[in-house]
Amino acid sequence: MDQPLIQIKNISKKFGDNHVLNGADFCIYKGEVTTVIGKSGGGKSVLLKHIIGLVEPDSGMILFQGQPVSEMKKAEKRAMRKKFSYMFQGTALFDSMTVFENIALPLMEKTSLRKKEIQQQVEEKMQQLDLNDINDKYPSQLSGGMKKRVAMARALITDPEIVLFDEPTTGLDPIRKNAVHSMISDYQKKFGFTAVVVSHEIPDVFYISQRIAMLEQGKILFEGSPDEIQKLPDSVVQNFIQGVES
Ligand SMILES: Nc1ncnc2c1ncn2[C@@H]1O[C@H](COP(=O)(O)OP(=O)(O)OP(=O)(O)O)[C@@H](O)[C@H]1O
């Protein structure tokens, strides 16, 4: 197999006495959708935040294209981060900005595109995500599902190489859930991007993922294909994916 795009090597992280990650190891490959599953509060978001450098590990390391992120120079880190986009769990939209301004923000910050080009790209993305006639609305005026889609439009507006999605479908109705999954899948096919998704949508999310990593007690208990996890003779894994209390 090719060299992983991102390698998480034996990372541990605690907050006070709370040992959230305890030697987590796994790999993300270019062009694949990797989904991280595991119990609520088990550290999936913390793991995602390590990937993008929002949280530093207490021990262990993260390698990007074989290079330890902790050894990168500032400019290298900046260049690496430019390739990433992050869709936060709680959407993290700016309440004081309109929908249009929220989606346009990464283009304003990361590119030198003209106003007209920005307008075109934002409108195109809004159409793709079925977000019509809400340009001038504020996040507080939207339903939860719409906010999610606005956050998704913002995460995808720069056509990033790697997108981290933290529970992109939570709170959506089944039709919207399917639409978000299809969009991740379509984006992968069209643009070949790499996605890391944190999700509780089992088994739906298996259909759009090439790799699954299951986090359990701070470690990656399983890493492999959706097919492999469904056949794995391990009661902890099977109980979890079938929603049985153990
Ligand atoms: N900045 C922080 N400071 C202190 N504790 C934190 C911080 N970030 C996360 N935690 C704790 O780390 C643990 C793991 O949280 P995390 O959000 O990663 O879980 P999760 O697996 O994503 O859960 P869920 O599926 O419910 O979203 C929780 O106990 C949380 O309170």
Say if residue 211 is in the same domain as residue 224: yes
Whether residue 203 is preceded by a cis peptide bond, meaning omega within 30 degrees of 0, is: yes
pLDDT of residue 2: 79
Our mutation pick for probing the ligand 1 site, out of 11, 14, 20, 56, counting the most ligand atoms within 8 A of Cβ, is 20
Atom 17 in ligand 1: residue holding the nearest Cα: 45
Amino acid identity, residue 159? D
Specify whether 96 is located in the same domain as 203.
no
Residues 175, 66 share a domain: yes
Are 11 and 67 found together in one domain?
yes
Nearest CA to ligand 1 atom 23: 41
Residue of minimum CA distance from atom 16 in ligand 1:
43
Residue nearest to atom 30 of ligand 1 (CA): 41
Query: Structural domain of residue 186, as residue ranges?
Result: 1-83+164-246
User: 77 CA distance to ligand 1 centroid (A)?
Assistant: 25
Please tell me the residue having the least CA distance from ligand 1 atom 18.
43
Indicate the residue among 160, 189, 209 that finishes a domain: 160
**Do 168 and 233 belong to one domain?**
yes
Tokens of 50: 């390590």
Using CB distances shorter than 6 Å, the residues near ligand 1 are: 15, 18, 20, 38, 40-46
What's the ipTM?
Answer: 0.96
Domain boundary among 160, 177, 208: 160
Instruction: Measure 6 CA to ligand 1 centroid, in angstroms.
Output: 22
Same domain, 169 and 240: yes
Tally of structural domains, the chain: 2
| Ligand 1: nearest atom to the Cα of 46 | 18
Q: What is the pTM of this model?
A: 0.90
Q: How far is the CA of 18 from the centre of ligand 1 (A)?
A: 10
* 151 contacts: CB under 8 Å, gap ≥ 6: 87, 88, 91, 92, 93
Q: List the residue whose alpha carbon is closest to atom 3 of ligand 1.
A: 15
Q: Please report the atom of ligand 1 found closest to the CA of residue 89.
A: 27
The answer to whether residues 53 and 122 belong to one domain is no
> Do 17 and 74 lie in a common domain?
yes
- Same-domain check for residues 154 and 171: no
Q: What is the CATH number of the domain that holds 240?
A: 3.40.50.300
Burial class (CB in 10 A: 0-12, 13-18, 19+), 243: exposed
User: What's the CA gap between 167 and 128, in Å, rounded?
Assistant: 20
Going by the DSSP 8-state scheme, the letter that residue 185 receives in this structure is: H
Two tokens at 48? 């995602």
Contact in structure between 181 and 204 (CB atoms under 8 Å): yes
Distance CA 73, CA 107 (A): 25
3-state SS assignment for residue 32: coil
Predicted confidence pLDDT, tens digits, the chain (246 residues): 678 999 999 999 999 999 999 999 999 999 999 999 999 999 999 999 999 888 999 999 999 999 999 999 999 998 898 899 988 887 789 999 999 999 999 999 888 899 999 999 999 989 888 888 899 999 999 988 788 889 989 999 998 999 999 999 888 888 888 888 988 898 888 888 999 999 999 999 999 999 999 999 999 999 999 999 999 999 999 999 998 876
Task: Look at residues 160, 184, 200 and tell me which one is the last residue of a structural domain.
Answer: 160
> Cα 213–163–98 angle (5° rounding)?
135
Q: What is the pLDDT of residue 191?
A: 80
Instruction: Output the CA 93–ligand 1 centroid distance in Å.
Output: 20
136 and 73 fall within a common domain:
no
pLDDT given at position 227 = 96
Which among 37, 45, 199, 219 is the best mutation to test ligand 1's pocket, defined by most ligand atoms within 8 Å of the CB? 45
User: Both 104 and 125 in a single domain?
Assistant: yes
Q: Are residues 99 and 201 in the same domain?
A: no
